[in-house]
C-alpha cells in the first residue's frame, strides 16, 4: 500500500476540525445542512456530511467542492475558510491497462529500447491527466513546432523524472530539438538507431508522490535538414481525462484536405475535417486512451 502523504492528512484534519467547530458554533444539525444544500442544488447525503465532519473522508470532485462553498455561507464562514483546507486530491482516477498506442511490433520494440536508454522503466508510473498540444504550420505547409502542456500525475510510488518521445513511424529522421519551457529540466536525450524514435528525460522541479500532480511544458522544433512533416499528434499509454490537439495553419498555406486519425487498441478511425474559413482545427478526446490522436493534411488530391 502506498505511503500516505502527511500534508494531505494534515489538510484533512484541519478541514474536519474547522467544519466541526463551525457546525457547533452555528448550533445546527447535519440534517439542517443537508436540507439547505439540497434546496440550493448541492445535494449531499447526511452520511457524507458526517464523514467530512469526522475526518474519515474529505470532499472530492466538482459537485462536492460546490457544496463546501455553500457550506461556508450556511455556517457564516469567510469565503475559502473550508475550501482552502481540503488539500490536493488523493484519487488517481480510472487508469486502465497501460499499453503502447502502436500497431507495429518493430516500432514498439524501438520505443521500449529508447525508454531503457533514457534510464526509464518501459512503463513509467505516471500518466498524462490533461494534455494540450499546439502545432504551428508554416507557409510551406510543414510543421514548424509543437508545444505540449501536460498535467502529469503519479500513479504509484514517487516520480522524479519522466520521459517523452517523438515518433515518426516508417520515416527515419534527424533528432528534433527538445526544449523545456517550464516545470523541469532535460537531463538526457536519446535517438534510436532506426531514426524513428527520439526521446528526452525530464527531471521534475519537485518529486511527485501517489496521486500528486504537476504541470510541465516543452517544445519540439525541427531543424532545416528535417524532412517536411504534414502530420502531428499526441499519444498516451494510459487513460487520460482529456487530450486536445490544436493545429494552426499559416494563412498562405491552408490545406485542401485534413483528416483526424484515432489509433486505439480497438482499431483505427479516420474522419475528415474542414476549415470552413478558419485557419486552425482542434480535436478533443475525454476519458480516452491508450491511443494516438493525429492530424494529417495535404494540398492536392488524396491517394
How do residues 113-134 score in pLDDT, each as one tens digit? Answer: 998 999 887 666 778 889 999 9
For residue 10, the model assigns a pLDDT of 47
- Which residue do the cell numbers 509543437 mark? 146
The answer, yes or no, to whether residue 5 has pLDDT greater than 80, is no
Contact 120/161 with Cβ under 8 angstroms?
Answer: yes
Q: Which of 37, 44, 30, 151 is nearest to 88 (CA)?
A: 151
Q: Which residue has the higher pLDDT, 137 or 103?
A: 137
Average pLDDT over residues 272-289: 92
Whether this prediction's pTM lies above 0.95 is answered by no
Residue 302 has pLDDT above 80, yes or no: no
Q: Which of 91, 76, 84 is nearest to 21 (CA)?
A: 76
When the pLDDT of each residue in the chain is averaged and rounded to a whole number, the result is 85
For the chain, domains (ranges, CATH) are 6-85 (1.10.260), 105-298 (2.60.40)
Please give the residue that has the higher pLDDT: either 93 or 256. 256
Amino acid at each position: 500500500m502506498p505511503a500516505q502523504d502527511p500534508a494531505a492528512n494534515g489538510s484533512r484534519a484541519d478541514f474536519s476540525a474547522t467544519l466541526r467547530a463551525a457546525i457547533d458554533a452555528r448550533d445546527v444539525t447535519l440534517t439542517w445542512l443537508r436540507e439547505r444544500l439540497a434546496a440550493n442544488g448541492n445535494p449531499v447525503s447526511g452520511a457524507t456530511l458526517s464523514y467530512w465532519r469526522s475526518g474519515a473522508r474529505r470532499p472530492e470532485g466538482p459537485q462536492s467542492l460546490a457544496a463546501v462553498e455553500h457550506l461556508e455561507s450556511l455556517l457564516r464562514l469567510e469565503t475559502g475558510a473550508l475550501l482552502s483546507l481540503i488539500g490536493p486530491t488523493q484519487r488517481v482516477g480510472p487508469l486502465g491497462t497501460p499499453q503502447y498506442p502502436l500497431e507495429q511490433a518493430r516500432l514498439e520494440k524501438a520505443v521500449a529500447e529508447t525508454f531503457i536508454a533514457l534510464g526509464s522503466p518501459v512503463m513509467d508510473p505516471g500518466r498524462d491527466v490533461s494534455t494540450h498540444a499546439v502545432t504551428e504550420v508554416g507557409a510551406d505547409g510543414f510543421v514548424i513546432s509543437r508545444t505540449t502542456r501536460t498535467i502529469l500525475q503519479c500513479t504509484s510510488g514517487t516520480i522524479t523524472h519522466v520521459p517523452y518521445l517523438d515518433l515518426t513511424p516508417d520515416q527515419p529522421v534527424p533528432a528534433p530539438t527538445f526544449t523545456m519551457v517550464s516545470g523541469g529540466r532535460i537531463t538526457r536525450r536519446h535517438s534510436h538507431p532506426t531514426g524513428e524514435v527520439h526521446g528526452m528525460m525530464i527531471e521534475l522541479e519537485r518529486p511527485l508522490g501517489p496521486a500528486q500532480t504537476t504541470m510541465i511544458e516543452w517544445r519540439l522544433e525541427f531543424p532545416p535538414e528535417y524532412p517536411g512533416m504534414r502530420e502531428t499528434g499526441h499519444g498516451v499509454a494510459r487513460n487520460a481525462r482529456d487530450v486536445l490537439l490544436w493545429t494552426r495553419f499559416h494563412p498562405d498555406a491552408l490545406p485542401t484536405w485534413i483528416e483526424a486519425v484515432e489509433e486505439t487498441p480497438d482499431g483505427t478511425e479516420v474522419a475528415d475535417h474542414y476549415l470552413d474559413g478558419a485557419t486552425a482545427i482542434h480535436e478533443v478526446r475525454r476519458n480516452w486512451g491508450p491511443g494516438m490522436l493525429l492530424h494529417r493534411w495535404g494540398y492536392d488530391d488524396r491517394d
